[in-house]
Structure 1
């Protein structure tokens, strides 16, 4: 890693330069947008290092409420690239700490910078300090399943067409969360299932098995979408027991939409 100060128009560019390919890396107290950029950077890294992320719990919860970020982070955790632990005491600075340098991350409205020092004594002291912090910090429990597992099981247990539609919807979104006027992974799954005329039982069982949400959450969200006119259902008789429900898209605009338009139409309808 270069020990020059880093100045760029965005924090991702700073991280790309600050996070080396081989060193052990500890990222300390990053801003929420920096966590998002870090996950994206590691996803695209040709030879990603092992990164330890120390952050206050509230920042991790805020960022990991977005399915796009959380599911990608879960993949990185699964392959050993990323580890998450909780900072009990929040430091003043946001840092990238390697064996060779310490970078202080600074963001402004239209720029980002990494102020770098390679002073041997200071770096060694900082590395030792955060090694101790890491050892005593509690692990952050990320409940979101890895995106790769979500995609592969969706194809295997529902259909390849459903996975293709799911991918198209995710690719059309910058975030996937319901607390800011958007739609989350459960709503996306139900819309995709309805577009492919799948059974509520099948998609909710898949969602619970893969770790997206409980069957009760799927059922509750289905009812909310049905009340808003986005979903419809039809009964499908079975040999034993109550009929199951086939999911259908309700609004004509949803029925006419391509998969990559589904989210925008749904968000507009939900906000009206």
Structure 2
């Protein structure tokens, strides 16, 4: 790839680089938007991904990975050994995409993005070696979110195929899953799905803790909040030994009549 990529969307530039890259791709100092778009493009990429090494600002990475949708898809890429994340104490000046064949500098001007490209052998070699050295000295970024494929597989096997489909449909209806007013968080979504399918609190919270979404205590606190707000109800289910367990049920009529595409929107409006 030798031509400049001008007046593009960031996803177009990222896809062009992925399509023409072999070996290792260094993604240096990406913006929050670029990290989100990279994860989205790489997840949907139809082909063999290069080995991607992302060297980013720690605060930016943390902020982006607070979104369960982005983080769980990034975790899938890491699990596939297609992505590594590291952070640096001093952020590089430029946002770059570097392979052994080319260097693309990402330049934003208003709502326009350009990929200024060079394949000058000496410059590319110098840049690649310099950022390979930066990579070697950088700190590993620990992503604690589980891969989305593992979340779906275990939800299907531990709760039910219907619960997994509901979970996936709700995620697909959301732009973000942060629980900060912009979207529902992953624990709330899990509990709403469990209530829709009348699963036991014990089962969904054990699943959530085992897969790495959140602790049983977090599930219990969130359940109490949702119950207090009337989104979900519970009923006691006797067991042979010990205290009865709680079955989750949808509590608000608006949620009962909402399909999966509307469930997240209705729940968000009630929570707000």
- Normalising TM by the smaller chain, what interval? over 0.9
Give the corresponding residue for 1:36: 36
Indicate the SS of the match to 1:90. Answer: coil
Give the corresponding residue for 2:129: 128
Q: CA RMSD in A?
A: 1.0
Query: Normalising by structure 2, what TM-score?
Result: 0.97
Return the alpha-carbon distance in structure 1 between the equivalents of residues 110 and 223 of structure 2: 40
Give the aligned length.
270
Q: Quick check: 1:26–1:98 contact (8 Å CA) kept in 2? A: yes
Post-superposition offset of 1:229 = 1.1
Give the corresponding residue for 1:5: 4
Post-superposition offset of 1:32 = 0.3
Q: Quick check: 1:74–1:147 contact (8 Å CA) kept in 2? A: yes
Deviations 1:137-163 (A, max 9, x none): 111000000000000000000000100
Give the corresponding residue for 1:62: 63
- Unpaired segments ≥5 residues, structure 1: none
Matches within 5 A, 1:231-242: 231-242=232-243
Matches within 5 A, 1:1-272: 2-19=1-18, 20-45=20-45, 46-271=47-272
Return the alpha-carbon distance in structure 1 between the equivalents of residues 182 and 123 of structure 2: 45
Indicate the SS of the match to 2:248. Answer: strand
Return the alpha-carbon distance in structure 2 between the equivalents of residues 163 and 219 of structure 1: 20
Return the alpha-carbon distance in structure 1 between the equivalents of residues 151 and 24 of structure 2: 29
Return the alpha-carbon distance in structure 1 between the equivalents of residues 41 and 191 of structure 2: 30
Return the alpha-carbon distance in structure 2 between the equivalents of residues 244 and 121 of structure 1: 68
Q: Quick check: 1:18–1:114 contact (8 Å CA) kept in 2? A: no
Return the alpha-carbon distance in structure 1 between the equivalents of residues 42 and 61 of structure 2: 17
Q: Quick check: 1:8–1:14 contact (8 Å CA) kept in 2? A: no
Post-superposition offset of 1:9 = 3.6
Return the alpha-carbon distance in structure 1 between the equivalents of residues 95 and 89 of structure 2: 15
Deviations 1:7-48 (A, max 9, x none): 234110111112334231000000000001111111122121
Q: Which moved more, 1:183-192 or 1:105-114?
A: 105-114
Deviations 1:215-269 (A, max 9, x none): 0010011111111111111111111111111111111000111122110000011
Return the alpha-carbon distance in structure 1 between the equivalents of residues 193 and 108 of structure 2: 38
Q: Quick check: 1:237–1:243 contact (8 Å CA) kept in 2? A: yes
